[in-house]
Every structure is written in structure tokens, then in C-alpha cells.
Structure 1
Amino acid sequence: MKTTYIRLSLAATLLLGIYSCKKGEATANDYEMSAAADSAAVVVSDSVSSTATMNVKDKQFIKTADVNMEVKDVYEATISIEKSVQELGGFVTHSNLRSNVISEDTYNTSSDDAMLVKKYQTENTMQVRVPTSKLGELLTLINDKKLFLNSRSINAEDVTSGIKYAELEGKRIKKTSENISKLKTNKDKIVLDNDNMSEENQQKLANMDVTDNLKYSTIDIYIKEPKLRIAEIAITNTKNVDNKYKFNFIYDAKNAFVEGFYLIQKIAVGLITIWPVLLIGAAIVFFLRKRKPSKKTEQNISEL
């Protein structure tokens, strides 16, 4: 009975646009399509997810989505998604398209030419933001590009109580400011007023963030190609070029001759630098040679 009641309530909501509430409870009969949604939006809701397009009476949601899928051509899909986002009044906050090289080999095709063969897989990580009322439509357009859907999540965070609390905090801060203004001017009043103003600024910033997130939904998208691609790039046969210039006899012989001449000069300069050592050594040799004949004479006399 309860299921039947819910279904009848939903049908009445879609056809007549009338809400039915009982005892202030937000049950399934509180759901309705956006006021700006037409019949196409209904199709979007059916084909994607009611979470993306739902509205609940007296409730406010921050909606986000995460899509992970495989596509035929990552570059083409990226351009198409970015174009769709712009047409829907949104914008791209992040897009990181890259090719992951799996292998890279070089094949020589002639003495001068070679072919570089790369096997790679292309992927892209994106983050886009669109008006919340267009979230379902964008998800449908993204879904049309898929070859295989790995995962998709759609979240609707209820921030109603947070918004009401922020309103109460704003009133409190305003009241505190009025009370501080009644105090006698001194150092303590200046500190209190400064702290209260800082708190007020932080509250305004938080309210701006919530308002922006309510107006625009964030979608994280990861797309990749299911198979490896092959790139054939014509290059120069570097091995043959290396062999060609690896050794040049005439040039190397000329350099060797010049380097040998410089080596002789360095040796001569080195000998000149150590001339005292050479002089002492020559004197020692001369002295030793001079003494050898006298020793031989003494030996012959002793033998006689």
C-alpha cells in the first residue's frame, strides 16, 4: 500500500505539479522536477539518474558527479565534452590529457632513415562545472560518448540545515556587532570589533561558497581508450650517422701529431723546471765515474 501511494504521489507531482505533504515530513511524494524542466528534462531524469535532476520541497542540495569510462577517441571526446559544457553555460576547471607510452622501439629502414614505433594509451582527467539545472543533460551527453562505463556516481548533499545555521550565525554576528558598538572605546573594544569583523568575513565567504556550489555542480571525469594506439614516426638512422663520424683517420692522425708536439714541449718545460735536480744528479754520476778507475788500479796492485 505504501509503495502504491508513493507511485501515485509521484505521478500526481509530474502531471499536475502539486506537492502533497503530511506532518511536515519529506518523503518520496515530496520529489518534483525542476520548475524549468520540460519534457526533455524528464527523459534526462529517466535515462541518467533522478538524483541529478531531483528537487525536494524545502530542501537544498549540492550536487556532484564522478564518471569513469572508456571512449573510442579521448581527444575527440574531450573536445566534445568541453564544447557541451560551454553550451550549457558551464566551464572547465581542469583538463589533463596525456599519452602513456607503453613501449618505444626504433627500426632502421635504410642507411639514412629509420622508423620510431610507439605503443601508447591516451587518457584524460577532467573537472567541469555546469549549472545544477543542467547536470542531468550534461551527464546524458557524456554518456553518449562511452564505449564502456567503468563507474559513475552522483551525489546530492543536503545542506539545508547548514544554510539555516549560517543565517542564524549571521544574525548573531550582527547582534554582537551592535552590542560592541555600545561599549566604551578602548583597546578591548577594538580587539572585540576586529575579531567580530573577521568572523563576519569568514561567514560571508562560507556563504558565497555554498551559494556557488548550489548554483553550479561539479563533475569529475576520467576517460581513456580501451586499446593501445601505435604511432609511426619517421626519423634519421642515428646508428649509421654515428658510424659515419665515429672515426676519421686523417683528422685523428693530424691531431695526434699536434698533441705529440705539445707533449714534447711539456716534457722540455718539465725538465727545465727541475734543472737543479738534474744538475745534482749529473754531479753525482760524474763523481762516481771518476772514482771507478782508482779502485781498479788499487785492485791490480794488490794482485801483484
Structure 2
Amino acid sequence: MKTTYRTLSLSALLLLGIYSCKKGEVASTELQSYGITDSTVAIASDSISSVAGMKVKDKQFVKTADVNMEVQDVYNTTISIEKSVQELGGFVVKSNLHSNVTSEDTYNTSNEHAMLIKKYQTENTMQVRVPTEKLADLLTLINNNKLFLNSRSITAEDVTANIKYSELEGKRTQKTSENIAQLKTNKDKVALDDSNMSEGNLQKLSTMNMADDLKYSTVDIYIKEPKFRIAEIAITNTNTIDNKYKYNFIYDAKDGFVYGFYLIQRIIVGLITIWPLVLIALALIYFLRKRKMTKSEQSNLKE
């Protein structure tokens, strides 16, 4: 009996040891798998950044980038970037190119011509979206246009848990919809069904946005020229034109005569408008003069 028990114990220990070795081999294989993935990424990554082309087993990343740099010609660089984005299967969200004028002076070159001199600096703020697998390629193409790189940041946000949560929420909404369908039709059921449908729509929208962010990476780009440019624009000498038409004696004399005639008319019309006041003033003057004459006559009689 004891011999049988010892035999069974040894067999169990042997099996346990074999299982432990197998388990260790599986764990090592998984770690090696992750190691191979990481090293492959490091080798396959572009020279710009390993983050842009990073891939990790069982992980999902939303990638974004921000580039701030100086270029030789903003306009030509903008055209080049837009063309590259299109060729990579992406699209431009916005492109705000403008010139900041620091000074503007006019110099007369003759009686008829002048030269407008503008000192300005051109810049552009862009936002583009490109397929995530092409992000590293786009960053490389952008980098080829730089004179000086002020800053560049690349972000890879792990959204694996968010995706799983979204799937669970979708299942919950579906289950809730099935439970509501079994209820007796009344106002409460309609309200519950409407609320659940609204929540389901929001969940679908969130899923669609997440899928879009996973498919396309967003890149914000700010480019400017390192030095000011000078623009020479031929224009008309406005001073000569102003002097030519600044004063015309015959026209101004005629205009002054007409204005004086209308001024007299306005004065007469104004006097007619205030005739009651004029009448009262005349009456007061007549009364005061008559009173003064009466006093004068009384003084003479007394003497």
C-alpha cells in the first residue's frame, strides 16, 4: 500500500514539474513575442521618431503630432505639404496662410509713378489628417522642407481600454433594448426606449469617432519664414494727382457765390419763421420809446 502511494506521489510530482516547464516555456514565448515586436518596430521605424510608426501587440493607439519650424518659402512649402498629404491618402482640415506687414513706405519715382515698399513675414497654421500608417512618411516629408526645427511633439494615446469599454457599453445598450421590448407598452416604456435609443446613438457616434481617430492621425503644423521679405509694388504718384485737383478757382468761386445766395435765402426764411418774436420785440421797443417820451414831456411841464 505504501509502495503504491509513493509511486502515485512521484508520478504527480513528475507531471507537475513537466507542466511547470511547459508553462514557463509559454510565458517565455510571449515575452519573446513582445520583444520581437518591439525590436521590429525599432528597426522598421523611420528616422524621424519611433513613436510615429510604433506598433504593440494587442494595443491600439490614437496618434497625433505637432510641428513648429522655419522654412525658406512658406507658400511653396504649404503647396508641397498639401500635395504630400493628398498623395498619402489624407486631407487638409485647415490652412491659414497670411503675411504680417511690419512696415509700409511710399517713395515717389516721378510725377506720375511711385514705389510702395512693404516689409513682411509670411506664416501658415495648418492642420492635416493622414492615415495612421503613413504618419511617419508624412513627418519625414515635412522635415525635408525645414530650415530650422523649433519644436516637434508626437503623441500615441493608448485607447485599448476605451475600445473595450465601448464594446461593453454597446452590448449593455443592446441588452437593455431587449429588456425594454418585453415590457408592457405604456408611457414609461416609450420614455425608456427613447432614452436607451438616444444613449445608443451617442455610443455609436463615439465608436465612429474613435474608429476615425484610429484610422487617421492629426498633425498640426506651424511654419514661418526666418527673415523678413521685401515687396516692391509699382503704384501711381498720388501727390501729383492731389495737387492737380486740390484747388480750382473758377469752380470754387462759382460754388461760393451759389452758397452765399442760398445762405441769404436761409436767413430770410429764418426771420420769417420767428416773426412772432420780431413783432413782440418791435412792440416792446415802441412801448419803451413812448414811455420815455411821456416822461420827458412831464419833466418839461414841471419846469
Fold shared per TM-score above 0.5: yes
Residue of 31, 34, 43 corresponding to 2:38: 31
Query: What are the residue-to-residue correspondences of 1:138-157 with 2, within 5 Å?
Result: 138-157=138-157
Q: How far apart, CA to CA, are the structure 2 residues paired with 1:279 and 1:198?
A: 84
Query: What are the residue-to-residue correspondences of 1:167-182 with 2, within 5 Å?
Result: 167-182=167-182
Are 2:169 and 1:196 equivalent residues in the alignment? no
Q: How far apart, CA to CA, are the structure 1 residues paired with 2:244 and 2:117?
A: 24
Question: Do the aligned partners of residues 115 and 21 (structure 1) sit closer, same or farther apart at CA in structure 2, a change above 3 Å counting?
Answer: farther
Deviation digits for residues 135-192 of structure 1 (CA, Å, limit 9, x no counterpart): 1111100000000001111111111111111111111111111111111111111111
Q: How far apart, CA to CA, are the structure 2 residues paired with 1:221 and 1:130?
A: 13
Aligned residue number for residue 257 of structure 2? 257
Q: How far apart, CA to CA, are the structure 1 residues paired with 2:191 and 2:280?
A: 92
- The SS at the match of 1:191 is helix
Preserved contact between residue 33 and residue 54 of structure 1 (Cα < 8 Å): no
Aligned residue number for residue 121 of structure 1? 121
Q: How far apart, CA to CA, are the structure 1 residues paired with 2:236 and 2:290?
A: 71
Aligned residue number for residue 112 of structure 2? 112
Query: How many residue pairs align between the two structures?
Result: 275
Question: Do the aligned partners of residues 131 and 269 (structure 1) sit closer, same or farther apart at CA in structure 2, a change above 3 Å counting?
Answer: closer
Amino acid at match of 1:119: K
Deviation digits for residues 202-246 of structure 1 (CA, Å, limit 9, x no counterpart): 111111111111111111100000000011111122223222222
Aligned residue number for residue 82 of structure 2? 82
Preserved contact between residue 46 and residue 136 of structure 2 (Cα < 8 Å): no
Preserved contact between residue 33 and residue 53 of structure 1 (Cα < 8 Å): no
The runs of 5 or more residues in structure 2 that have no matched partner are: 1-25
Q: CA deviation at 1:199?
A: 1.1
Q: How far apart, CA to CA, are the structure 2 residues paired with 1:240 and 1:21?
A: 90
Aligned residue number for residue 281 of structure 1? 282
Q: CA deviation at 1:269?
A: 3.7
Preserved contact between residue 34 and residue 57 of structure 2 (Cα < 8 Å): no
Q: How far apart, CA to CA, are the structure 1 residues paired with 2:208 and 2:39?
A: 26
Q: How far apart, CA to CA, are the structure 1 residues paired with 2:202 and 2:243?
A: 70
Preserved contact between residue 85 and residue 92 of structure 2 (Cα < 8 Å): yes
Q: How far apart, CA to CA, are the structure 2 residues paired with 1:202 and 1:283?
A: 90
Aligned residue number for residue 184 of structure 1? 184
Preserved contact between residue 32 and residue 55 of structure 1 (Cα < 8 Å): no
Q: How far apart, CA to CA, are the structure 1 residues paired with 2:185 and 2:78?
A: 61
Preserved contact between residue 61 and residue 156 of structure 1 (Cα < 8 Å): yes
Q: How far apart, CA to CA, are the structure 2 residues paired with 1:74 and 1:119?
A: 15
Q: CA deviation at 1:281?
A: 2.6
Q: CA deviation at 1:289?
A: 8.8
Question: Do the aligned partners of residues 64 and 287 (structure 1) sit closer, same or farther apart at CA in structure 2, a change above 3 Å counting?
Answer: closer
Question: Do the aligned partners of residues 21 and 161 (structure 1) sit closer, same or farther apart at CA in structure 2, a change above 3 Å counting?
Answer: farther
Are 2:216 and 1:209 equivalent residues in the alignment? no
- The SS at the match of 1:54 is coil
Q: CA deviation at 1:27?
A: 5.7
